[in-house]
Structure 1
Amino acid sequence: PYFGGVYYQVARKSGYRQWDSFMYSFMMSTFYWEYGLEAFAEVPSVQDLVVTPVGGWLWGEWSYQKEKEIRKNGGTVYESYFWGDIALFLLDPVDTIGAGINNMMGREVVKAGTAWVSTQPASGNGQNQSSNDQWSLNIAFQF
């Protein structure tokens, strides 16, 4: 669920609504991770296909709201910037790393990131080959 929450927050902070962010998290955890990278090591389980996106939605929305509260308090937790930085990292490591790179460089280097799934009809001899369509996961970063 933690990494489902990370996927969820990427979408949520890009301006997506809760449902859209849930769908993004579901697609990333299911097709990118379970049927993509991890499929080389093991067969995806029902638990992985359900718990990661649903738990990710719960964790992700809670983390999103908590992060907003911490930032509203000036980035502090218990009036400490140290604990605020730790909490922000644990709530959303991707965003914290991007902000850290920008702070280290003294300018906005990492501006945004996005991902989408696309499909392209398979080339063939004119027969219906919809089962052979080419699917791709596209990831783009704006620097």
Structure 2
Amino acid sequence: MDYLLTSFKGVGVTFGILAVQTGVHALWRPLSFAENFGLPLNPKLSAQNRPRGEKDHAAKSVDFGPAYTTMMGARQAGTGVIILIFASCGKWMEIATVLSVVGLLCATTDAYNLWKGGKNGHARFHALPGLAIAAHALAVLYRNGGL
């Protein structure tokens, strides 16, 4: 029995379910999602505390942080739905491909930005599981001829 693939099936389905859950959270409660993620949004950003170089007309515009977070949530939920559809069709190599990219690219980008924001604990929380999932996915691809 291929224990690597069997364990990956559990990881893949779990990731899909959690991706849908976190995506829906970002859609319905963007401020709460951003705070839990580690990069809270400030819905009352004003011209006085705006980062240098931003145009004055931005002070009159809407704060797009929550809107951006909901767009990110839709993509997160979409990724989870795709993974769950692939799982229901037995497309484990496809899931391994998606999770190797997500684990390497997305998790390390998240971790880097969290680290830059001084959120070292949150950064580790994203980097370590992301890299572990990517390594597991890459091992499945390697063992099953996908690499």
Higher relative contact order (CA 8 A, sep 6+): 2
Larger % of strand: which? 1
Larger % of helix: which? 2
Give the TM-score of the pair, scaled to structure 1: 0.35
Give the TM-score of the pair, scaled to structure 2: 0.35
